[in-house]
Structure 1
Amino acid sequence: MPISEQVVEQIAADVRKFGETATGLQAMNDNAKRELGELRAELDKHGKKLDAISAEKIDKIAASVEAQDAALAGLKALPEQVERIDAVLKRPGVNGGWAGDDAANEAKAAFEFAKAKLIARGELKPTTKVEGDEAEYAAYAEAFPHYMRARNDGAMKPAFQAAMQTGSDPDGGYLVPTTVSSRIITKVYETSNLRALATVETIGGKELEIPRDEGEFGYGGWVGETTAPAETTTSQVGVSKIFAHEMYAEPRVTQNMIEDAGLDIEAWVANKVGEKLGRIESTAFFTGTGVNQPRGLLTYANGTTNGTIEQIVSGGATTITADALYNLAFALKDYYTQNARWLMKRTTVRDIMKLKDGQSNYLWQMGDIRGGQPATILGWPVDRSEDMATIAASSLSVAFGDFKAAYTIVDRLGITLLRDNLTAKPYVKFYNRRRVGGDVVNFEAVKLMITSA
């Protein structure tokens, strides 16, 4: 005999015993009803009428007995339902009929399906008969794929509801607390750090003036003991002015978000604004126009006089050659090479690392990280700067020089914050300001490489 039939027969036997117990309970209930009737008849026979309280108590007992009678009727019906299921299980598996272990599973599914529908409609009572026959299984088989599709795409509504689960909010997901990390995964933006290499001055006004010695004193020549000297020329003096330009950001956040968020929103906003303004000013130090913003290192024309920066060709239309690096390094006066360094984009560093000299030695020398020594090209350290141009035709992709002598940054104010929670309710405005400027002050202290043959 298949295992599934053994299981069903055991269940049937247990339910039959339960039915016999229900029959015994029914007999006891019948005796109670009979004795209650005899009591009323005996009282009426002797003409003794009951008082109102006693009559009410007897009526409640009678109603309780009748309710038990209805419940016991439902219990007595269970063996008959199990007998029907047992009979269905024993039918041969013809034309999709049920047999074996699959039969037990399908019968159980049909029975549970019928019960679930009654529960969903609020119709399951002790006296309700739950039908789990082939017709009910057919309804179950038809509804199940629709239920699965409704779970996936919402195209159809299921005929029954699944057990509670955390994956669905209505099914219980709302009851499961969500843990929010105090850490935020932040996108990384590449930037430059010319501020760390240049001269930085803090000012108390709107601009910084730097006197410039733009020439030299004249020479009168060699003279004899009695020769009268003639007047010689003096140097020309100029001035460089660097204005502190204003930049701002004004993010807005609702008051509720500030109060209810699981992290310090105001600190997060301040950090994000500071990073953004820092990247914007770094870009301006390289490519700024000088109009309401700093003047960039890469914006000056080619030349060797004040107001121009000398550009050395790379030796290739879209490449950098080893010879060009030598030419660029030796275009700088020895005075400035003492503190000189290379400045280039990360991808430019990659391409230059592949260059070799005539003896197949790499020009790039890896630094000693443990000793704190930076990587070098021709003996000078290399700094990465993502605001330098990518290697392309006519691009300024490499800078070499003493940037502390060449470029000056002025700070008027750090980032100041005006917090306004009144003028744009329910939003809180965070008005952030920064005043900063920058410009080249010594044009011979830096050289640039232009990609050209």
Structure 2
Amino acid sequence: MSAVETKSAGDDILADLNRAFSAFKETNDERLTQLESRLGADVVTEEKLARIDHALDDTKSRLDRLALEMSRPRIGGKLVDDHSGREHKSAFNHYMRSGEASGLKALEAKALSRGSGPDGGYLVPLPTEREVLRRLAKFSPIRAISSVREISGASLRRAFSTTGPAAGWVAEADPRPQTNNQQLADMTFPAMELYAMPAATQALLDDAVVDIEQWIAEEVQTAFAEQEGAAFVSGDGVNKPKGFLAYATVADASWSWGNIGHVLTGAAGAFAATDPSDALVNLVYALRAGFRQNGKFVMGRRAQSLVRQFKTTTGDYIWSPPATADAGASLMNFPVVEAEDMPDPAANSLSIAFGDFERGYVVVDRVGIRVLRDPYSAKPYVLFYTTKRVGGGVQNFEAIKLLKFAAS
């Protein structure tokens, strides 16, 4: 599909999305009118609203997939413009197709690479690694909005100020009293091993037309993204990253460092019957202004389906569809990030997050993706044991707030 055709398709899908949301608003207004008449909402209206809501989600998914296609660069020559890069690409391609590893052995020995060889696998070329990480940023929503740090060791260790530096005002000739010491927290984010094992037939590998690097990137993207997405949200930190929902939470009025503050919806497993959107306003303003400027909502499809029905006192809907094909939906003028690993609304669930995730959550990538070719374990298929090391955790407990579906 050409760039012009892709743009045209994006415009068509965006138009479908806007038509679906217009129908959604009209049907929801009809439902609210029926509720206000005290006769109750008609079953047919409820079913129609549910169908349109499902159509909205499907159309938005189509738009997301098209945005990925529009931003997908070709792998190959343009990124590999130096001799060593071309040499690595050629040796890796030869290894993937035939199992001959002498070229890669020589290259990694020359680079003094540790952990390479038959036991640890071989590093993929840099363009392939970039493509895998780029795809992960599209498919793994938390990675896309968080701070990402590359490391060459086993973990990222950093000090973070929990109180900020002490300071004060003085006149030019006044003595400078000693200030209180800055309170620092020592935080460590280890990189854990994540793996995928795509399989191929020898016929596929023998086909010279097949781009092996592109095939590897496409095969591992979904497996890596699904595992990462779940871990960044709710991972327990044991052999995986620690998700922001796995940390201790407290009522925001009692917030302290090491905990994540939450506010209440006012009803168990639901929003309050009266002025339900007030909980979202409270959530937004629980965040300090410095973080709120880059704030984003993170929620799953079920939670988004609920907030899509809310209106302001002037009758305007607080959820808005994307303005352009490469944009996202917004809620109260803040971007909405749909993360399927967020829990559905239920009693005491933490189903909606709001925060500056770039400052609040860090993703740690150890440089290098390795592939080990295994032609023996699943004959006649060839397995490619592909590994990367990734970690993650909350780095600033002030920057993320949660909405708890509870009355108290």
Measured against the shorter chain, the TM-score band is: 0.5 to 0.7
User: What SS does the corresponding residue of 1:195 show, helix, strand or coil?
Assistant: helix
Q: Taking structure 1 as reference, are residues 374 and 364 closer, same or farther at Cα in structure 2, changes over 3 Å only?
A: same
2:355 aligned partner: 401
Distance of aligned partners of 1:192 and 1:255 in 2 relative to their CA distance in 1, 3 Å threshold:
closer
How far is the alpha carbon of 1:259 from its aligned partner?
A: 5.6
Residue 425 of structure 1: CA displacement? 5.2
How far does residue 356 in structure 1 lie from its aligned partner after superposition? 1.9
Mapped partners of 1:203, 1:218: distance in 2 = 31
Q: Unmatched 5+ residue regions in structure 1?
A: 1-189
Distance in 2 (alpha carbons) for counterparts of 1:211 and 1:390: 35
2:333 aligned with 1:379: yes
8 Å CA contact 2:365, 2:389 repeated in 1: yes
Q: Distance in 1 between matches of 2:383 and 2:148?
A: 31
Q: Residue 232 of structure 1 aligns with which residue?
A: 179
How many residues are aligned here?
262
Q: Which residue of 242, 245, 248 corresponds with 1:295? A: 242
Determine which of 322, 327, 336 is the counterpart of 2:282: 327
Q: CA deviation at 1:218?
A: 4.8
State TM-score, norm by structure 2: 0.57
Residue-by-residue CA offset, 1:33-76 (whole Å, 9 max, x unaligned) = xxxxxxxxxxxxxxxxxxxxxxxxxxxxxxxxxxxxxxxxxxxx
Distance apart, 1:222 and its partner CA: 7.8
**Percent identity between the aligned chains?**
38
Which residue pairs with 2:319 in the alignment? 364
Aligned counterparts of 1:389 and 1:444: Cα–Cα separation in 2: 22
Query: What does 1:164-313 align with in structure 2 at a 5 Å threshold?
Result: 192-218=140-166, 231-253=178-200, 255=202, 268=215, 271-303=218-250, 304-313=255-264
Counterpart CA distance in 2 for 1:428 and 1:373 is 40
Question: Could you say which structure has the greater relative contact order, defined with CA pairs below 8 angstroms and 6 or more residues apart?
Answer: 2
Asked if the contact 2:196–2:385 (Cα under 8 Å) also holds between the matched residues in 1, the reply is: yes
Secondary structure of the equivalent of 1:215? Answer: coil
**What is the distance in 1 between the residues matched to 2:328 and 2:312?**
20
The one-letter code of the counterpart of 1:211 is A
Partner residue in 1 for 2:46? none
Whole-Å separation in 1 of the counterparts to 2:281 and 2:349: 18
TM-score (norm 1): 0.52
- Contact kept, 8 Å, 1:306 with 1:443, in 2: the verdict is yes
**1:433 aligned residue:** 387
Instruction: Provide the rounded CA distance (Å) in 1 between the counterparts of 2:214 and 2:181.
Output: 57
Give the CA deviation at 1:292.
0.8
CA offsets 1:394-435 (integer angstroms, 9 cap, x no match): 111111111100011111145321113357655423111111
Matches within 5 A, 1:70-149: none
- Report the alpha carbon displacement of residue 195 of structure 1 after superposing the two structures with TM: 1.1
Instruction: Provide the C-alpha distance between the structure 2 equivalents of 1:275 and 1:415, rounded to a whole number of angstroms.
Output: 15
Q: Secondary structure in 2 aligned to 1:241?
A: strand
CA distance in 2, matches of 1:350, 1:253: 40
Alignment of 1:333-372 (within 5 A): 333-369=288-324
Structure 2: tracts of 5 or more residues without a match? 1-137
Structure 2 CA distance for aligned equivalents of residues 289 and 332 of structure 1? 25
Give the stretch that moved more between structures: 434-443 or 343-352: 343-352
Read off the aligned partner of 1:206 and give its amino acid letter.
A
CA distances 1:260-307 after superposition (whole Å, capped 9, x unpaired)? 9x9889965652233211211111100111111000011111132222
Q: Say which SS state the counterpart of residue 369 (structure 1) adopts.
A: coil
Question: Cα 1:364–1:421, aligned 2, differ >3 Å: closer, same or farther?
Answer: closer
2:267 counterpart residue number: 316
